[in-house]
């Protein structure tokens, strides 16, 4: 073991991960090799092979920067939104110094952590009040919990076509049943009419839940009811729009429109189409937002100062009219096709110079919004396609995922596709380095 740790390759691991981590990984690699031998296998047991195995173990651990070349802008597995420089600076400032998080500087007494983002949300959406929690599912759960709090046999009316499942296998009916309300389902999977809601409303109805099916599309023989029509029925409407679009994009519902159409509460995410940190945001009438603030769950779902600082900076970009130029998510979604192709052509040219025996071309691609948003929305894009002398794109993809930083693309048509639309400014250099290290 000591001899392995003194090897030159091991010293690289030690310099990158520290002695304890490197020693533990090498010990684990040795143990796995021993297990394979005892099981009748014939693994390579050389010093170099053990260190390579330990390196692979270490490279997959811990939260790391990754190059997203998949073409999926809001890739949930890769962290969704990338924060703007302004948002990062705000979060760093909040993390490295004291702040007036819950302190009223004018009065010299305790304030509210929501005093900072709430005025911005009110101005952007036209709502009377707002609240920020840790994610959208939490915001919707808290909204319904506040609406039905203390009312026995409370019912919430919802269309069967809107009982969706979100990422990770979490289902809206199961999440929202925790509010204490009984979900009264109306309509069918593909068609729900206003009359279905009218017949379902009774003395136990506390709210109508309207959920935007943001991660799938219903096409063909379908019918649904708009928030404006539901708001006229009497019970408060809780509208979960999910994506948090503050600017027009495709047919995605905008938060401001939900408020204008009479929703009592509108909930949405901070890290989807809004382009900020992970957060759940609720905007709506003061009566309902106040009830959410007072609810015991509000403390459990509270967000921290780093999120609030980044969110405030993100919302400020919208107010200043610079969101499309400043927020990486919106820049990627709206970048002109010719600009993306120009970057792809340049990257392909530089890759050929880096590894001459690499087969490289540029091909039209289709990027996606991802993150449970705009499921039918296709974004014209361009990808650099690679194949090395082995002709095995899966092996090439694995090699690039093992570099520092890892490069994640997609495999198809016998090539590794690196979609340029989702690359950040510094990612091209990372790709060149990864290809050079892996194949040079």
Confidence band for 318, pLDDT divided at 50, 70 and 90: very high
pLDDT for the residue numbered 168 = 61
pLDDT for the residue numbered 21 = 78
Res. 291: pLDDT tops 90? yes
Residue-wise pLDDT for 82-100, tens only, equals 999 999 999 999 999 999 9
pLDDT for the residue numbered 44 = 77
pLDDT for the residue numbered 246 = 96
Mean pLDDT score, 384-412: 92
Mean pLDDT score, 341-367: 94
Which tokens go with 309?
């600082």
- Which of 3.40.190.10, 3.40.50.12160, 1.10.490.10, 3.40.640.10 is the CATH number of 85-323? 3.40.640.10
For domain 67-80+331-439, give the fold: 3.90.1150
Query: Do 237 and 262 meet the contact criterion of CB atoms below 8 Å apart?
Result: yes
Domain map (residue ranges) of the chain: 2-59, 67-80+331-439, 85-323
Answer yes or no: same fold for 67-80+331-439 and 85-323: no
Mean pLDDT for all residues in the chain = 90
Confidence band for 261, pLDDT divided at 50, 70 and 90: very high
Query: 7 CB contacts (<8 Å, ≥6 apart)?
Result: 47, 48, 51
pLDDT over 70, % of the chain: 95
pLDDT for the residue numbered 299 = 92
Weakest-pLDDT range from 58-67, 131-140, 188-197: 58-67
Cα distance between residue 269 and residue 284, in whole Å: 15
Confidence band for 8, pLDDT divided at 50, 70 and 90: low
Tell me the backbone φ, ψ of residue 326, rounded to 5 degrees: -105, -35
Residue-wise pLDDT for 200-256, tens only, equals 999 999 999 999 887 677 777 889 999 999 999 999 999 999 888 999 998 889 999
Region of 389 on the Ramachandran plot (φ > 0 left; ψ -120 to 50 alpha; else beta): alpha
| Burial track 68-98 (b if 16+ CB lie within 10 A, e otherwise) | bbbbbbbbeebbbbbbbebbeebbeebeeee
Cα distance between residue 254 and residue 250, in whole Å: 10
Q: How many CB atoms sit inside 10 A of residue 430's CB? A: 21
Res. 60: pLDDT tops 70? no
Q: Give me the DSSP letters along 146-210.
A: HHHTT-TT-EEEEEGGG--EEGGGEEHHHHHHTTTPEEEEES-SSB--HHHHHHH--TTEEEEEE
Cα distance between residue 116 and residue 379, in whole Å: 35
Omega into 405 within 30° of 0, i.e. cis?
A: yes
Mean pLDDT score, 430-438: 92
Long-range contacts of 33-40 (CB under 8 A, 24+ apart): none
pTM: 0.87
Residue-wise pLDDT for 104-159, tens only, equals 999 999 999 988 999 999 999 999 999 999 999 899 999 999 998 878 889 999 99
Res. 15: pLDDT tops 80? no
Indicate the DSSP class of residue 259.
Answer: H
Most confident of 42-46, 63-67, 264-268: 264-268
């Amino acid at each position: 073991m000591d001899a392995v740790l003194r090897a030159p390759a091991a010293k690289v691991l030690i310099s990158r991960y520290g002695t304890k981590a490197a020693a533990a990984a090498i010990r684990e690699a040795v143990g796995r090799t021993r297990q394979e031998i005892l099981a009748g296998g014939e693994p390579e047991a050389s010093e170099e092979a053990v260190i390579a195995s330990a390196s692979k173990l270490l490279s997959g651990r811990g939260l790391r920067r990754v190059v997203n070349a998949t073409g999926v802008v809001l890739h949930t597995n890769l962290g969704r939104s990338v924060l703007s420089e302004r948002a990062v600076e705000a979060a760093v400032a909040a993390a490295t110094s004291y702040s007036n998080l819950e302190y009223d500087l004018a009065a010299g007494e305790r304030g509210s952590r929501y005093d900072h983002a709430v005025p911005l949300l009110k101005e952007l959406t036209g709502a009377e009040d707002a609240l920020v929690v840790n994610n959208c599912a939490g915001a919707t759960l808290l909204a319904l919990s506040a609406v039905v709090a203390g009312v026995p046999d409370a019912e919430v009316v919802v269309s069967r076509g809107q009982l969706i499942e979100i990422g990770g296998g979490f289902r809206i009916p199961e999440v929202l049943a925790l509010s204490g309300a009984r979900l009264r389902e109306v309509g069918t999977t593909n068609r729900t009419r206003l009359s279905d809601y009218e017949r379902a409303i009774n003395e136990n109805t506390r709210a109508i839940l309207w959920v935007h099916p943001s991660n799938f599309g219903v096409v063909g023989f379908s019918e649904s009811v708009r928030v404006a029509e539901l708001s006229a029925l009497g019970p408060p409407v809780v509208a979960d729009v999910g994506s948090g679009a503050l600017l027009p994009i495709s047919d995605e519902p905008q938060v401001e429109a939900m408020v204008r159409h009479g929703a009592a509460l509108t909930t949405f995410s901070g890290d989807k189409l809004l382009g900020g940190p992970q957060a759940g945001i609720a905007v709506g009438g003061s009566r309902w937002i106040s009830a959410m603030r007072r609810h015991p769950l509000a403390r459990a779902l509270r967000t921290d100062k780093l999120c609030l600082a980044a969110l405030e900076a993100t919302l400020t970009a919208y107010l200043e009219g610079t969101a499309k130029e400043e927020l990486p998510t919106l820049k990627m979604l709206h970048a002109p096709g010719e600009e993306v192709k120009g970057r792809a052509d340049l990257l392909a040219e530089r890759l050929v110079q880096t590894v001459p025996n690499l087969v490289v071309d540029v091909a039209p691609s289709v990027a996606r919004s991802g993150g449970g948003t705009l499921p039918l929305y296709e974004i014209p894009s361009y990808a650099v396609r690679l194949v090395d002398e082995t002709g095995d794109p899966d092996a090439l993809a694995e090699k690039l995922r093992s570099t520092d930083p890892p490069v994640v693309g997609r495999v198809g048509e016998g090539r590794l596709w690196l979609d340029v639309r989702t690359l950040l400014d510094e990612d091209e250099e990372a790709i060149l380095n990864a290809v050079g290290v892996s194949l040079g």
